Chain A
Amino acid sequence: MALVEDIKTSAPRISEATPRDYFDLLKPRVMSLVVFTALVGLLVAPGAINPFIGAVAILAIAVGAGASGALNMWYDSDIDAVMSRTAKRPIPSGRVSRDETLVFGLILSVLSVMTLGLVTNWVAGGLLAFTIFFYAVIYTMWLKRSTPQNIVIGGAAGAFPPMIGWAAVTGTITMESAVLFMIIFLWTPPHFWALALFKLRDYEIAGMPMMPNVAGERHTKLQMLVYSVLLAAFAVLPWPLGFAGPIYGVAAILLGANFIRHALAVWKMADGDATMVPAKKMFGFSLTYLFAIFAVLFVETVLMRVLA
């Protein structure tokens, strides 16, 4: 019988957790971005993959990403409980116990890596294993609470999915998949720091060293601008490198210019601004940006294949 601890009395009680609570442990919203970017990586890679094998590969990558999310929630349940954004997660709200979450995360990690490795190849399987390790151990256990560079380095975990998708088809790591990796890697800091700017208080209460509360707002805004320029430049690369066409190239330039425009608005925002409207707008746009970049790459590739 599944027992969970009562959060108020710490006495064991019988679980009322539903499948939905376990699904929430997988961070479904993060997972949707992982599924999408991995799918694009898989589709733009040269070579063919059986559609069913491709679908199973994407499912394995999604479950692996979800498993690392569960391990993150297991380790971070103490800080999740004090932050408004995360206080309703299954562990802090008392619906699932920490031990159950740990076991759930570990089992899904092993199953997803094993499935991806057996179904596609062990380069993809190994990359997925490394991604889970990187997110759960390097980011969650080590960097997140110790350095304001936490999300810069930790962002690599979120950047691996298109590379895993690519490797599932080709069995290799190439310059092209590294560019897709770099796009998400460079996108992560401005995306998260925009959030950290207007959730500053939350991170302070939780005692997490995010860039705005360690180095100050001014310094954070400057870094956001630098990363935005680098991102805009990197995102155009698939065009000259030849795995995307002019439609993507033009779209990447326009989207990148818009990204820099938002970063400039944040940079011009007065320090200590109470409403943080430009930061909120930039956070919203950054999600649209990443989705749009990968969507254009996806649509253009499919169009070219259909027309060819």
Chain B
Amino acid sequence: MSENRPTIELTEAQQKARRKRSIALAICLAAFVVIFYAVTVIKLGPDVLNRPL
């Protein structure tokens, strides 16, 4: 079935641009996670574990 479906071949420029966008998005996401982790530690410190269970 799949061999009958028209597929889009990305040009080299398109592939390169997509790869760059993916890397940038990954870096931003990782930075966001690290920032919130660090802020949590700074703001709450050891109290991060101090909560009613």
Q: Contact residues of A with B, CB < 8 Å?
A: 1-2, 14-19, 22, 50, 52-53, 56, 59, 111, 115, 118-119
Contact = CB atoms under 8 A, between A and B. Distances in A.
Contacts of A17: 17, 21
B24 A19 contact: yes
A22 B23 CA distance: 13
B39 A18 contact: no
B42 A15 contact: no
Interface in B1-41: 8, 10-11, 13-14, 17-18, 20-21, 23-24, 32, 35, 38-39
Interface of B: 8, 10-11, 13-14, 17-18, 20-21, 23-24, 32, 35, 38-39, 42-43
The 3 A-B pairs with the shortest beta carbon distances in the complex, nearest first, are A19-B24, A16-B17, A14-B14
Contacts of A15: 14, 17-18, 21
A111 B28 CA distance: 12
Given A16-B13, A56-B35, A2 B21 contact: yes
Nearest to B21: A19
Given A14-B14, A17-B17, A56-B35, A50 B24 contact: no
A52 B39 contact: yes
Contacts of A56: 35, 39
Contacts of B11: 14
A53 B14 contact: no
B21 A53 contact: no
A106 to B, nearest CB: 16
Contact of A53 (B18, B23, B24, B39): B39
Contacts of B23: 19
Contacts of B20: 18-19
A2 B48 CA distance: 40
B33 to A, nearest CB: 12
A96 B29 CA distance: 21
18 contacts: A1-B8, A14-B8, A14-B11, A14-B14, A15-B14, A15-B17, A15-B18, A15-B21, A17-B17, A17-B21, A19-B20, A19-B21, A19-B24, A50-B42, A52-B38, A52-B42, A56-B39, A115-B35
B24 A2 contact: no
A17 B14 CA distance: 8
Contacts of B39: 52-53, 56, 118-119
B25 to A, nearest CB: 8
Nearest to A16: B17
Given A17-B17, A56-B35, A119-B39, 12 more contacts: A2-B18, A14-B11, A16-B17, A17-B21, A18-B20, A19-B23, A50-B42, A52-B38, A52-B42, A53-B39, A53-B43, A59-B35
A2 B20 CA distance: 13
Contacts of A18: 17, 20-21
Given A14-B8, A19-B24, A53 B17 contact: no
Contacts of B8: 1, 14
Contacts of B43: 53, 119
A245 to B, nearest CB: 31
Contacts of A22: 21, 24
A50 B42 CA distance: 8
